[in-house]
Amino acid sequence: MTAAGSWAAPGRVNLIGEHTDYNDGLVLPLALPQTTRVTAARRGDGELRLSSSVPVGGWTVYPEGVLWALRQAGHRVGGAELHFDSTVPVGAGLSSSAALEVATAAALNDLYELELPRPALARLCQRAENSYVGVPCGIMDQMAAACCVAGHVLRLDTRDLSQRQVPFDLAAEGLRLLVVDTRVQHALGDGAYAKRRAACEAGARVLGVRALREVAYDDLDIALRRIDEKVMRRLVRHVVTENHRVEEVISLLDTGRPRAIGPLLTAGHASLRDDFAVSCPELDLAVETANETGALGARMTGGGFGGSAIVLAGEATADRVSDAVTTAFSKAGHRAPRIFPAAPSDGVRRIS
């Protein structure tokens, strides 16, 4: 095709704040260097033609959904020819779907001179995934792909979409953030994710609040005594305590103490494992091994049921931690994990 330009949108890891975004809570993601790239040109016949160098089935529904969402919102968007390639691992909990959506939205936004701001593009991409793809995700992944800034984590309040870039200069502190892709494929459209979201919404109704974000951490014990159903109680406890952990991590980063966030990451993993029940043996093994080998903290990241963990480690111990996790997986009979550093990077941008 005759290209009008190319755009790139990143995958993401979430430093802390898991399963809080659809509860109007706080999240703290960062963009990865790995991106999904789209080369795009307008078509005069109104058709959408898609191709990809990545042989992954079922991916076309995401760009289709973005075009649908733009048109549903009343934007005058004609046809397009889009070719994709990507370095974001698929099924690793690193939001490859949001990267695909946001890259598409940015390309169509520029091709048709819509002049929509990045948060508006993120909202349209979320609508595409919710209503067209059928995954009831929150807004975090799309906002991370659209709005992150290199060298920072994005403090996002999903209740009002207010955001702040929080400095997160790992190298200056002698730190490394590792991603451990367990290679356990996860799929959020299989119902488990939707059931947890529905249970959280039911918990909010029981407590008489619009969303669990409104339950104060100091009032958690009182709130839990009002919930009879055990599973719902555990889910509510995770969301409220996770929001509190996000606030604690932000406070530590704002006061120049990034090394001190490690125990909060590990506590977040325990909550996701025990209360929200979205971990798996491979994720637990990665976290436990990393912490036993000298990491400052570790946790699963993303929706769960597989995917990736993140590990915060000092430069002097990061390689040892990586080797220990790989060895532990081999001894347990698991597939070898893919481990790489996560450098906080920029959100979506035009690259040519």
- Residues designated as active site: 141
Chain centroid, CA 83 distance in Å: 24
Three-class SS of residue 111?
helix
CA distance 115 to 121: 10
Q: Dihedrals φ, ψ of 50, to 5°?
A: -125, 145
CA angle 121, 125, 130 (to 5 degrees): 150
State residue 35 phi and psi, 5-degree precision: -135, 160
Contact 340, 5 (CB under 8 A): no
Reading the block at residue 105, the tokens are: 């939205």
Question: Rounded to whole angstroms, how far apart are CA atoms 15 and 85?
Answer: 26
| Eight-state DSSP code of residue 186 | -
Query: Do 253 and 166 touch, CB atoms closer than 8 A?
Result: yes
Sort strands 349-350 and 338-341 into parallel, antiparallel or unpaired.
unpaired
SS3 content of the chain, % helix, strand, coil (to 5): 45, 20, 30
d(CA 175, CA 262): 11
Question: How many angstroms separate the CA atoms of 207 and 239, rounded?
Answer: 14
**Residues 331 and 15: beta-carbon distance below 8 Å:** no
**Distance of alpha carbon 69 from alpha carbon 133, whole angstroms:** 11
Contacts for 230 with CB less than 8 Å, ≥ 6 apart: none
For every residue of 2-15, which 3-state class applies, written as one string? CCCEEEEEEEEEEC
Structure tokens at 328: 């532990």
